[in-house]
Structure 1
Amino acid sequence: MNITRNNVDAINAVVTVEISKSDYADKVEKVLANYRKNAAIPGFRKGAVPMSLIQKQYGKAVLLEEVNKLLQENLNKYLVEEKLDILGNPLPKVTEDFNWDVDDYKFEFELGLTPEFSVDLSANNDLVHYKIVADDKMLNDQVTHIQKQYGKLIAKDTVEEGNDVSGIFANEEKGINNRTTLSLDVFADKNVAKSFIGKKVGDVISLNTKGLFEDDHKLMDFLAIGHDEVHGLDVDVTFTIDEVTAHEPAVLDQELFDKLFGPKVITSVEELKAKIKEDLEKQFTQQADQKFLNDVTEFLITTTKFDLPSEFLKKWIQTAGENPFSAEEAEVEYSKSENGLRYQLIEGKVMQENNLQITFEDLKSYTSEVIKKQMAQFGQLNPTDEDVQGIVARVMSNQDEVKRLSEQVMSEKMLHLYKDKVKAKIKEVSYEDFIKAMYGELSTK
C-alpha cells in the first residue's frame, strides 16, 4: 500500500491511496473461506460448496468491504502519523467509471487543512469593558419597590394619583395584545398620566406610542414587541383598565430589615441602600463581563485574518448530515456557520498558546458552586458538603451536563484571560446607558 499527499495550496490537499492485490487478497480469501464453511446452498452439503460458487455469489461484496476497511484504517493512521490538522472529514473524489475488475486500485481524497494564523490579544482596539454603577435614582427606586412589595395592597375602583394600573395594551394591526402593570409616573408626558386620573376599571384609554415613555426600550416590555420595532414607533394603541391598586408602603424599620436580610444584618436605610448597591452591581458585573466576552469574540473574528478551505467545506456540508444538502443549501449553511468555525479555530489557538485546560478538579469545583447557588435559591443556605458532593456526582455522570458545564468553565477561563491580556478601556456607566451600549446606541468615547 502506498499513500501520498499533494498539497494543492496551504489549506487544500489531495491524498492518494494505492492498494494492491497483495494488501487485500489474504483477507478476502479468509472471509470467503468462512462463508464456505457456513453456507447452506441447496444441492450441497454444508462446507462442501465449491469455492467458485462462493466467489461468484459473495466475492464482489467481500472485496468492496475489505478494501474499504483497509482504506479507512490506513487513511486515519496516515493522518495521525503525519499530524495533519484537518477540517471536516476526508472527501473521496468520485470516479464515475471506477473499475473493480482489476487487481490494483487507486483512491483519491480531498482534505481541508486547518489554516496557519496567529492571534494578537494585545492589539490596539476600540473595545470597552463596562463597569455598571447603581446610581442614586436606581437605589431610591429599589427602596420604593421594596416598600411597595412589602406594603399593603388596596384595590380601588377609580384611578388616583400614585396608583398602579393594570390592563391590556392593544393594536390589532401590529398584533399588540399584552397585559401589564404600570405606575403613572412612567409616562414621559405628564398630560398622559393625568388622562388616567378619574378613570375606572373597564374604561379604555387611547394613546400614541411615539414618545410615550422617556426611553423607547420600555415599549419592549409594556407592549411585548421586539427591539427593532420600538425606535420611532408611531401607532395608536388602546389601554383597557382591568385593575387599579393603591399601595400603603411598608415602613423602613428594623422589622422590615430583619425580614429582608435576617436579624440585625441591616440596621438603617443607609445600610439598606449599600446592600442593594452591592447586590445589584454584582449582577451587573456578570452582564458587563458577558458583553465584554461577546465583544472580544467579535473583535477577534474580524481582525484575525486567515483563509478557510471554503469550497471543500461546502462540499463536506452537503454530505455530513443525515439528510444530504443541495449545493445551494450547503452555501447557505456555510454562510451561517462560517464565523462560528472561525472563532472555534481562534479559541483553540488561544487555548493552546496560553495552556488553558480544564481539569477534573476545575469542573468539580465549578459544579459545586453552581449547585450551592441553586440550593440557596430554594432556601438551603448551608447545605452539608456530603449533600453537595452527592449531587455533583450525579450531575457529572451525565455526559451532556459535563459537556455543558465544561463549556461554561472554559468560557470563564477565556474571560479571565481576555481581561488580563486584551487592552480594553474601562468605562463606568449607569445601567440605562449600558442597555443603550448593548444595542449600539451609546458612544464608546
Structure 2
Amino acid sequence: MEIALEKSTETNASLRIKLTKSDYQSEVDKKLKDYGRRASIKGFRPGKVPTSLIQKMYGKSVLVDEINELLKNTVNNYIRDNKLQVVGDPLPDREKADAIDWDTQSEFEFNYNLGLASDFEVDFNALPPVPAYEIEAGETELNSTIEELKTRFSGHTHAEESAEGDMIYGELKQDAKEEGEPFSTKTALPTKQIAANELPKFIGLKKGDVVTFDIQKAFPDEKARALATGLKAEEATSLEGEFTFTVDDVTRNEPAEIGQEFFDKVLGKDAVENEEQFREKVLEIIKSNYGREATTLQRIEIEQALLDNIAISLPTEFLKQWLLTNNEGNITEADVEEQYDTFARSVKLQLIKNKIASENEINVSYEDVMETTRSMVREQFGFYGDDEQMKQSIDQIARQYLMDEKGNNYMQMYNRMFDDKVIELIKEKLTLEPKTISVDEFKELVSARQPQA
C-alpha cells in the first residue's frame, strides 16, 4: 500500500492511496471461504459448493466491500496518526472511483479531498479579561414578578356584563343556507381573540343578550375561528356569513389575592408564613434565575473572546461542497451560503475547545455521564432515599434514557458535559472582571451579544 498527502494550500489537501493485491486478497479469500461454508445452493451439499461458483456469485461484491472497509480504516488511521486538523469528512474523487473496472483490475488508486483547519495556538495570557456579571434585581423586578404570579394563579369570577379580556359563554347559531343544515352549538367566545374593530359588539353584554356578527370579520384567524365554533380547522376555514350569539354567562379572570393560599400555590404548602417571607423567597428565586442567565451571557462572552483572538483559517469552498454532498437533496446552494457563517463559527469554536481539552487532558467518562443522568432522574421524578432498590431503579431509568433516541440522548449529555468542563477550565485561566449591572442593562447586553458569525 502507498499513501501520500499532497497539500495544495494551507487548508486544502489530497490523500492518494494505492492498493495492490497483497493489501486485500487474504481478507477477500477468507470471506469467500466463509461464504462457501454457509452457502445453500440447489444441487450442492452444504459446504461443498465449488470455489469457482462462489467466486462468480459473490467475488465482486466481497472485493468491493473489503476495499471500501480497508479505505475507511486507512484514511481514518492516517488522519489520526498524523494529527491532521480535518474539518468535514474526506470527499472521495468520484470520477476516478467510477472509472474502476472491478472485473479486471487488481491494483487500485483512490483520491480523497481533505479540508484542513490552519494551525493555531491557545494562549490564555493573550486573551482579554471577560466580565463576570452580577445582575442587580430589586424591588422593581420583585413587584413585577409578583404581579405576574397573581395573574398566573388567577381565579375565575362571574361578571354581570362583559368587558375586554372576558370569556363569554352561550349559544352560537347560523340559520340554514340553501341546501345546508342550520348551525348551532354551545361554546365560549374568548374576547382576547376577537378582532379589534369587532370587539365593541361584545363589550357590555349581559345574560340573555343577543349579538349578531360576521364570523370571518370577528375571527379572521382560522385557529381562533375553529376554537370559537368547536369545529376542526379545515371545517372552520369555510365558515362565512352572519351568526347570532345568545349570552348565558360571562366569566372573568381575577388576580390572586395576597395570602397563604397564594403563597402555597407559588412556593408549596407552608414554605412561607407571611408576605415578608414570601417576598424574600421570591426575590431569592429571581436573583438565582438571573444568576443563571448571567452565567449564560458570560459563556457567550468567553466564546466570542476565543473567536476574536484566535485566528483559524478554514477551507471555505471545500466545506460548502461538503455540506451540499453530506445533505444531498435536503439543502440547496442558497441554503449553504445563508448558513455558512454560522456553521464556520461553530466549527472554529469546536476546534478551539477540542484543543484546550486535549492540552489539558479533559475527558468525560461513561460514569460521569451516568452520574449526571442519575441526578437528573432524581430531580425529575422526585426520588429520595439511598437504599439499594432505589439506586437500582434510578440506574435503570438513567440507562434507558441514555439509550433512547438511538443513543442521541447519550451524545447530547456527553457533549454538554464536555463543553461545561472546557468552559470551567477557561474560566480558571482567564481574568474575570466582576461587573454589576441593572436588569435593563443586562437585557441590552443579551440582545447585543448574541453569537455573531
- The number of aligned residues is 373
Does the aligned pair in 1 maintain the 2:374–2:398 contact within 8 Å?
A: no
Most deviating of 285-294 and 98-107 = 98-107
1:156 and 2:144 equivalent? Answer: no
User: How much has 1:384 moved relative to structure 2?
Assistant: 1.7
Q: Distance in 2 between matches of 1:29 and 1:263?
A: 74
Match of 1:112 among 106, 112, 115: 115
The 1:372/1:335 distance shift into structure 2, 3 A limit, reads same
Does the aligned pair in 1 maintain the 2:153–2:265 contact within 8 Å?
A: no
Does the aligned pair in 2 maintain the 1:139–1:277 contact within 8 Å?
A: yes
The 1:300/1:389 distance shift into structure 2, 3 A limit, reads farther
Q: Distance in 1 between matches of 2:36 and 2:417?
A: 57
Does the aligned pair in 2 maintain the 1:314–1:334 contact within 8 Å?
A: yes
SS of alignment partner, residue 17 of structure 2:
strand
Q: Distance in 2 between matches of 1:80 and 1:151?
A: 61
User: How much has 1:303 moved relative to structure 2?
Assistant: 3.7
Which residue number corresponds to residue 204 of structure 2? 200
Which residue number corresponds to residue 219 of structure 1? none
Match of 2:417 among 409, 413, 426: 409
Q: Distance in 2 between matches of 1:36 and 1:329?
A: 50
The 1:40/1:154 distance shift into structure 2, 3 A limit, reads closer
Does the aligned pair in 2 maintain the 1:317–1:334 contact within 8 Å?
A: no
The 1:167/1:304 distance shift into structure 2, 3 A limit, reads farther
Identical counterparts, % of pairs: 25
The 1:98/1:250 distance shift into structure 2, 3 A limit, reads closer
1:91 and 2:95 equivalent? Answer: no
Which residue number corresponds to residue 350 of structure 1? 356
Which residue number corresponds to residue 5 of structure 2? 5
Q: TM-score, normalised by structure 2?
A: 0.63
Structure 2 segments unaligned to the other structure (5+ residues): 169-188, 194-199, 212-248
Which residue number corresponds to residue 439 of structure 1? 447
User: How much has 1:281 moved relative to structure 2?
Assistant: 0.6
User: How much has 1:306 moved relative to structure 2?
Assistant: 0.7
The 1:9/1:427 distance shift into structure 2, 3 A limit, reads same
Q: Distance in 1 between matches of 2:205 and 2:362?
A: 61
Amino acid paired to 2:139: D
User: How much has 1:131 moved relative to structure 2?
Assistant: 2.2
1:135 and 2:138 equivalent? Answer: yes
Q: In angstroms, what is the RMSD of aligned CA positions? A: 4.9
Amino acid paired to 1:113: L
User: How much has 1:321 moved relative to structure 2?
Assistant: 4.2
User: How much has 1:258 moved relative to structure 2?
Assistant: 7.3
The 1:133/1:367 distance shift into structure 2, 3 A limit, reads farther
Q: TM-score, normalised by structure 1?
A: 0.64
Q: What does 1:7-406 align with in structure 2 at a 5 Å threshold?
A: 7-25=7-25, 51=52, 60-93=60-93, 94-95=95-96, 97-98=99-100, 101-121=104-124, 123=126, 125=128, 128-143=131-146, 154-157=157-160, 165-166=165-166, 200=204, 245=252, 250=257, 266=272, 268-321=274-327, 323=329, 334-360=340-366, 362-375=368-381, 380=382, 383-386=384-387, 387=390, 390-397=393-400, 398-399=402-403, 400-406=408-414
Does the aligned pair in 2 maintain the 1:150–1:250 contact within 8 Å?
A: no
Does the aligned pair in 2 maintain the 1:153–1:245 contact within 8 Å?
A: yes
Q: Distance in 2 between matches of 1:360 and 1:59?
A: 41
Q: Distance in 1 between matches of 2:149 and 2:120?
A: 54
Q: Distance in 2 between matches of 1:91 and 1:248?
A: 62
**Residues 317-336 of structure 1 deviation map (CA, whole Å, 9 limit, x = unaligned):** 33334758676665556455
The 1:158/1:412 distance shift into structure 2, 3 A limit, reads farther
SS of alignment partner, residue 396 of structure 1:
helix
**Residues 102-137 of structure 1 deviation map (CA, whole Å, 9 limit, x = unaligned):** 543322222223432123455565854432232212
